[in-house]
Structure 1
């Protein structure tokens, strides 16, 4: 049977896992009801094995608390697989770490953002390319999304289209090929998950001049960002 695979690249904080589930559960919860007939949802933990499931029809690459610039062996081993997936036109959607890893695999550079960490529910704006994109084009020109990242795509791979940006990050969403996208934000997050991340990062956010209490107050539902997941699998 054909498989939509969630490529697991890390674990959420323990309190998030206990209360809301790990990254793969957050995605599964959003995707299960929209899966096409004949497609199963599988998880490939790339940290534990380099052998992917068989009969993959699409892949979603999760976030991680690792850093792409660390070039961990399991992460580096994913790069040739992603390169082949792009060459084969396998539908891909990278999220946060997955976004940064895809960009690095395809010839870009991902590293620490000079402005520091971006966390909370933030506004994201489509570019002209985003407004014309088959995955993003039905979204509002400006929408809110949940974000938590210290690294970002600092240099684009050749031939990449920028689909969305905001005041912190010029590369909030990218497209690399006909059916290969990535986003810096977390479409799988719910408001309680976002609040848990802000609470965990409270000291670090305060140290860089952010107001954690205001960030918590500003957390909101992100239906447009979340809709990208079901739109992605609807295009399979």
Structure 2
């Protein structure tokens, strides 16, 4: 059985490790079923072949695709260059891909759609997502409730649906919560791997990164633990089960 290639963009070790554990847990994956690469510290091997993998899973991160190039650190540029370098083959060959939060910005920007901070940013919260007509026909969403909660927290967002993409999920505050390119290339603005404990860790790690007033951290943590968020992980697990 081929492993999944897990690409992580978080430079904070505790956040990266926590995200990886959450992806394993919510995706129903064993460590042996993944090849994990932390792009903040490790390059993509020159001989890497996507044919060796069941699919690609891209995590989130504190960076923003839309930030001006002259404001990005060398590490941010290196991370983006690495993942953007794989996107032509992924989209051209319709290789199974699940981009989570940062991953939707990567996909949309690669496809030529606008990504920015003008509209649709969402504070850390659980938002109500609605399955679209196209979403009801999608294998990862079929049979799920028409409306369910998902954890979000992002400063930038996709501003317009990329050409040729299916629009699968929307929320009142951000219309592009989940999209699909061709048959197998998926991306979500929400975090399908997240639960209250996962977001508590990230709130503590990123409280000084401009997502929220640091004084609100304890309230946000309590709010996240008070929410019942169960459907997004089913989407991630269906992705794994479909392509493993």
TM-score for both structures, normalised by structure 2? 0.81
User: Cα 1:188–1:216, aligned 2, differ >3 Å: closer, same or farther?
Assistant: same
Please say which of residues 141-150 and 220-229 is displaced more in the overlay: 220-229
Report the alpha carbon displacement of residue 206 of structure 1 after superposing the two structures with TM: 5.0
Query: What SS does the corresponding residue of 1:63 show, helix, strand or coil?
Result: coil
Given candidates 20, 25, 42, the residue that maps to 2:21 is: 25
With over 3 angstroms needed to count, the CA separation of the structure-2 counterparts of 1:13 and 1:65, relative to structure 1, is farther
Aligned to 2:56: 59
Q: Distance in 1 between matches of 2:238 and 2:183?
A: 15
Pick the aligned partner of 1:91 from 89, 93, 96: 96
Residue 221 of structure 1 pairs with residue 228 of structure 2? yes
Partner residue, 1:69 = 66
Deviation at 1:232, TM superposition (A): 0.4
Structure 1 pair 162–12 and aligned structure 2 pair: CA distance change class (3 A): farther
Which of 41, 47, 69 matches 2:34?
Answer: 41
> Cα gap change, 1:115/1:13 in structure 2, threshold over 3 Å: closer, same or farther?
farther
- Residue 205 of structure 1 is matched in structure 2 by 212
Q: Distance in 1 between matches of 2:192 and 2:112?
A: 25
Report the secondary structure of 1:2's partner residue: coil
Map 1:32-181; keep pairs closer than 5 Å.
32-33=28-29, 40-47=33-40, 48-51=42-45, 53-54=48-49, 55-70=52-67, 72-114=77-119, 116-181=121-186
Deviations 1:92-149 (A, max 9, x none): 1100001111111122122124364421111111111111111112211000111111
TM-score by length of 1: 0.83
Q: Residue in 2 aligned with 1:190?
A: 195
Structure 1 unmatched ranges of 5 or more: none
Choose between structure 1 and 2: higher strand proportion: 1
1:163 and 1:172 in contact (8 A); partners too: yes
- Asked if 1 retains the 8 angstrom alpha-carbon contact of 2:135 and 2:169, the reply is yes
Does the C-alpha gap of structure 1 residues 89 and 191 become closer, same or farther in structure 2, counting only changes over 3 Å? same
Residues of 1 paired with 2:120 and 2:93: CA distance? 36
Question: Is the CA contact 1:34–1:233 (under 8 Å) kept in the aligned structure 2?
Answer: no
Task: Tell me the secondary structure at the aligned position of residue 205 of structure 1.
Answer: coil
Comparing 102-111 and 76-85, the one that deviates more: 76-85
Query: Secondary structure of the residue that 1:66 maps to in structure 2?
Result: coil
* In structure 2, C-alpha distance between the alignment counterparts of 1:13 and 1:148, rounded to whole Å: 19
Q: 1:13 to 1:170 in 2, by over 3 A?
A: farther
